[in-house]
Amino acid sequence: MSTSVTVSDRTPEVPPNERTTLLPSSVGSQVPPSRNANRESLGLVYMTASALGFSAMSLFVKLSGSKFPTMEIVFARSIWQVTMALLWCGWQGIHPLGPPAHRRWLLVRGTTGTLGLACFFYGLTHLPLADATVVFFSNPVFTAILAHLALGERFTGVDKLASLLCAVGIILVAKPSFLFGTGQGEDALPGRLVGVVITLFGALMGAMGYVIVRKIGGNVHFLTHVVYFGGISALFSGFAMLGGAGFVLPSDITDYGMLCTVGVASFVGQSFLNKGLQLSPAGPATLMRNLDVVFAFGFGIALFGEIPDVLSISGALLIVGCTVGMALRKWLL
């Protein structure tokens, strides 16, 4: 059983190198088949719980966005993230700053992750929930391209075709007026194309963070990445608020609850993700990770009345299908 893991960079704080070293390659020969199957099944349950946690985070980001500026939501999420990560580092005896030789790249990785997070949150507050989620989920395609250019990793003809189809899917979700007319309702909003472009830039930033982590290697604990990501995000969003990005004081316990839930749901999703990656094989784990998109469609329809049209559904199927297909190909081959 292969131990290589390829998942979406929705949560760029999980370094892929650490994912691949969580289990020894000989684990299949040391664990009885029935017990190993139970472990893998439990891992997929954890991955499902992780997807639900991150979807809940996206949901509360969108709910918070009706009152709070994007940077304030990023700040709330980041404070929770860095606080819980530091507490976990203390409990595990892990140096939160990591090895000195890697700190420069950790700073760069934290910066790209911060930009990706801010852009994704902007998309969640300016686009239908499902559209923002599925556009951001295109980041594995950017990762494959950047890893080929920066690290010399293989980028096959199948990968090129998948990237092209993914781009078509993004166009279908964006529905630019120069191709599809002015549209009505959500599709007629002048900020829709801007929201898609910003979310897509966030996906690119997430992919850059992924490649930087690959460059750093497996010598840095994943919690160190969480600390840098959360710390830089908190500083960036804090200065942005002071610089005019806006700040709205929560007025009641509901407001505080929404902002806190963004951070807690993210951390819960992260914890289940880490545990799930320890137990489940790469290909099926990727499939379960894409349940984020399913949950996003469900939340959008049930809570916001965001009924996707044929173009959005077709684009989502193309994007998810291509990213999952690329992951399964690498796992099987």
**CB-based burial of residue 88 (10 Å sphere; 0-12 exposed, 13-18 middle, 19+ buried)?**
middle
Residue 307 belongs to what domain range? 50-332
Least confident of 194-203, 216-225, 274-283, 294-303: 274-283
DSSP label of 123: H
Q: Is the pLDDT of residue 8 over 60?
A: no
Q: Which of 250, 258, 229 has its CA nearest to residue 56? A: 258
Give me the pLDDT at residue 4, please: 41
Establish if 115 belongs to a structural domain.
Answer: yes
- Residue 22 counted as domain residue: no
Across the range 99-127, mean pLDDT stands at 94
CA 242 – CA 240 distance, rounded (Å): 5
Which residues, in sequence order, are CB contacts of 144 under 8 Å at separation 6+? 153, 155, 159, 163, 326
User: Can you give the pTM of this predicted structure?
Assistant: 0.82
User: What is the rounded distance in angstroms from the CA atom of residue 1 to the CA atom of residue 276?
Assistant: 16
- For residue 77, is it within any domain? yes
Q: Assess if residue 199 is contained within a domain.
A: yes
Residue 276 lies in a domain: yes
Q: Is residue 28 part of a domain?
A: no
**Residue 73 within a domain:** yes
Average pLDDT of 62-69?
93
Lowest mean pLDDT among 57-71, 84-98, 148-162: 148-162
| Mean pLDDT over each residue of the chain, to the nearest integer | 83
pLDDT at 17: 40
**What pLDDT was estimated at residue 178?**
59
- 10 Å CB burial of residue 178 (0-12, 13-18, 19+) is exposed
Instruction: Confirm whether 34 is domain-assigned.
Output: no
Q: How confident is the model at residue 67 (pLDDT cuts 50, 70, 90)?
A: very high
Query: Using an 8 Å Cβ cutoff, are 176 and 111 in contact?
Result: no
- Classify residue 313 as exposed, middle or buried by CB count within 10 Å of its CB (0-12, 13-18, 19+): middle
| Residue 190 confidence (pLDDT) above 80 | no
Share of the chain above pLDDT 70, in %: 82
Instruction: Tally the domains of the chain.
Output: 1
Residue 32 pLDDT class (50, 70, 90 cuts): low
